Amino acid sequence: MNAKKRGLGKGLSALIQDKEKAEELISDVKLNPSEAVEEIEISRIIPKSDQPRKIFDEDALNDLKASIKENGVIQPIILRRKDDRYEIIAGERRWRAAKAAGLERIPSIVREIDEETAAKISLIENVQRENLNPIEEAEAYKRLMSEYSLKQEELAKAVGKSRSYISNSIRLLNLDERIIGYIYEGKLTGGHGKALLAIKNHEDQLEAANRIIELGMNVREAEEKAKVSKKRSKRNKKVKELFMIELEEKLMGALGTKVTLNHGRKSGRIEIEYYDDDDLERLIDLIVG
């Protein structure tokens, strides 16, 4: 295991499972009392473009805004210089709430860190939050595995989750994009998404998802709906297979040779076999007339 992988594994494990050890191991993430806290103009601060969290709960932001109006920003955010502005490394929620509260400046710690370290801190801060959207969490896990060459077992150990939890989380990204959007918007939960994964066909997935939303089904009801949809899909596939076999037999009877139908969702291909030049000529005469 390379040094980067070892460092990330230790950092994530410490942050999630042992706060005191985190203070010793991850100097990039902790707030050092000796660091200078600056009051940075909010208008000069920009969010990190690739930060894992894409959706911010409005009610939670309003609660934080009210707290900031009453008590100010208690914990400074972490920034790094980017051209003539400052990019948020940790604390975007605080920045958004402070902005909404009408503050012109926000207490900040400015660090000189590279892109890789900035990405690591942002990922760590977001992965350890329990209220990450299930899709955001899945994307964060996938990105951690990709960027730091981690296997699922290593990542699971690092974040204090089971391997199956990590695997099932990442599997949500295999859902139809429209269903992923529903989970982003909070119309469906991660549990609903896992139930829908039992349905392989994306159109059938979407139909079931819309029905779940329409009827306000809980996860258990969604699982039953997925089972029914899966059975219906298999039954429809079987009916189609029998129909295609019947068509093949009709064509073979008419042409006197082997015919294979390769049928897709909307298009397909007919394969007609011939055995020699005379047989080919015979088939052309039959088809063309």
Q: Which residues are catalytic?
A: 92
Distance CA 94, CA 92 (A): 5
The residues pairing with 204 across neighbouring beta strands, listed in sequence order, are none
168 vs 183: CA distance, rounded Å? 15
Task: Please provide the distance, in angstroms rounded to a whole number, between the alpha carbons at the two ends of the chain.
Answer: 71
Q: What one-character DSSP code corresponds to residue 46?
A: E
- Determine the Cα–Cα distance for residues 82 and 65; give it in Å rounded to an integer: 26
* Interatomic CA distance for residues 149 and 143, integer angstroms: 9
CB 5 within 8 A of CB 77: no
Strand-pair partners of 269: 262
Q: Which value, to the nearest 10 degrees, does the dihedral of the CA atoms of residues 108, 113, 114, 116 take?
A: -80
Pairing of strands 259-263, 268-272: antiparallel
